[in-house]
Amino acid sequence: MSEVHFLSIDEMAAMVPDAASVTVHKGDEADVPMALAKALIRRGARGLHLITLPTAAYPVSGMMVDLLIGAGCVDSVETSGISLHELGAAPRFTGAVKSGRLKVLDATCPAVYAGLQAGAKGQPFAPLRGLIGSDLMRHRSDYRVIDNPYLPGDRIAVVPAINADVAIFHAPRVDAEGNVWIGRDRDRVLAAHAARRVLVTVERQVPGSFFDDETLTAGVIPAHYFDGVALAPGGSWPMAVDGSVDLDAVRRYQQAAQSDEGFARYLRAEVFAPGTVPYA
């Protein structure tokens, strides 16, 4: 049915260069490109700068970021929060911060959104209320305070635009033209508008065009935004496309990641072993 050129998951991983800045999503929807993250680990990606939009603090988004950090793919992360949600801390993230291996640009959620929105508009920065008096302002040299040009004496923070080298995310459907339906979660639209390169893994392809059905179009990112599409059914596992999570799988990961040995065993069994690469 398709005129869409699908990449293999490993071809897609090759399009995320070392040292690239990469946006990833918060994971309350099945937007977590876990299959791609595993392919990045297999290809030995290094020096990535992850930007979480705005957090990676649900079980599966936290797990994916933790895996990438633990596997040595990440040098720095800009985030408003990384954890495994109800299950607790993300072990490789916290360990890497304490050891100094990982540089963290701590942020607050609306500052990440404001930066992305500025980036999507092609504007240099965005003003944002709040922030003043927090230690984020002391440690984020790129966050500044200016005088409101329209109201003398009113001080307001500004944050720089975020234009990531690559946006990566998972989505439920791609149509025959390569348009991607993401539903109501506009975060993926924002990421696609702000990034220089956009790579999407999708659950499955459907015939026709989403633009033939007006009830769907508000949830669609048009094909021309994408630099690569890969079919990855179950690509956000342990989150299913309906948003349900296999929490036991995340607990198994969390347990394994408590030690270097356990984490290495987990990588061998779940990332590198034959049979763990269903989409290659």
Which of the residues 193 through 252 are near other proteins (CB under 8 A)?
Answer: 206-210, 212-213, 215-216, 241-245, 247
- On the question of a cis peptide bond just before residue 274, with omega within 30 degrees of 0, the verdict is no
How would you classify the pairing of strands 155-160 and 125-128? antiparallel
How would you classify the pairing of strands 180-181 and 220-221? antiparallel
From 7, 9, 48, 58, residue interacting with other proteins (rule: CB under 8 A): 58
Q: What binding mask, one character per residue, do residues 124-163 give for other proteins by CB under 8 A, x or -?
A: ----xxxxxxxxx--x-------------xxxx-------
Nearest to 73 by CA among 15, 16, 32, 9: 16
Per CB under 8 A, which region of 33-41, 65-73, 178-186, 261-269 contacts other proteins? 178-186
The gap from C-alpha 75 to its chain's centroid, in whole angstroms, comes to 15
From 21, 23, 79, 254, residue interacting with other proteins (rule: CB under 8 A): 79
* Least Cβ distance, residue 261 to other proteins (angstroms): 22
How would you classify the pairing of strands 144-147 and 228-231? unpaired
For residues 137 and 53, what is the distance between their CA atoms, to the nearest angstrom?
19
Two structure tokens written together for 131: 């922030």
Contact at 8 Å (CB) between 129 and 156?
yes
Two structure tokens written together for 186: 């506009």
Position 177 contacts other proteins (CB under 8 A)? no
For residues 263 and 190, what is the distance between their CA atoms, to the nearest angstrom?
33
Position 89 contacts other proteins (CB under 8 A)? yes
Q: Which is nearer to other proteins, 16 or 66 (CB)?
A: 66
* Least Cβ distance, residue 42 to other proteins (angstroms): 28
Q: Which is nearer to other proteins, 42 or 140 (CB)?
A: 140
For residues 50 and 41, what is the distance between their CA atoms, to the nearest angstrom?
14
Binders of other proteins in range 248-277 (CB under 8 A): none
Per CB under 8 A, which region of 16-24, 54-62, 162-170, 270-278 contacts other proteins? 54-62
* Least Cβ distance, residue 81 to other proteins (angstroms): 4
Per CB under 8 A, which region of 6-14, 40-48, 177-185, 229-237 contacts other proteins? 177-185
Q: Which is nearer to other proteins, 129 or 275 (CB)?
A: 129
Binders of other proteins in range 7-46 (CB under 8 A): 26, 28
Residue type, 25: H
Contact at 8 Å (CB) between 13 and 230?
no
Q: For residue 24, give the 3-state DSSP assignment.
A: strand
Per CB under 8 A, which region of 15-23, 40-48, 101-109, 266-274 contacts other proteins? 101-109
Position 85 contacts other proteins (CB under 8 A)? yes
For residue 97, the surrounding DSSP H or E stretch is helix 91-99
* Least Cβ distance, residue 128 to other proteins (angstroms): 7
Contact at 8 Å (CB) between 166 and 134?
no
Q: Which is nearer to other proteins, 186 or 196 (CB)?
A: 186
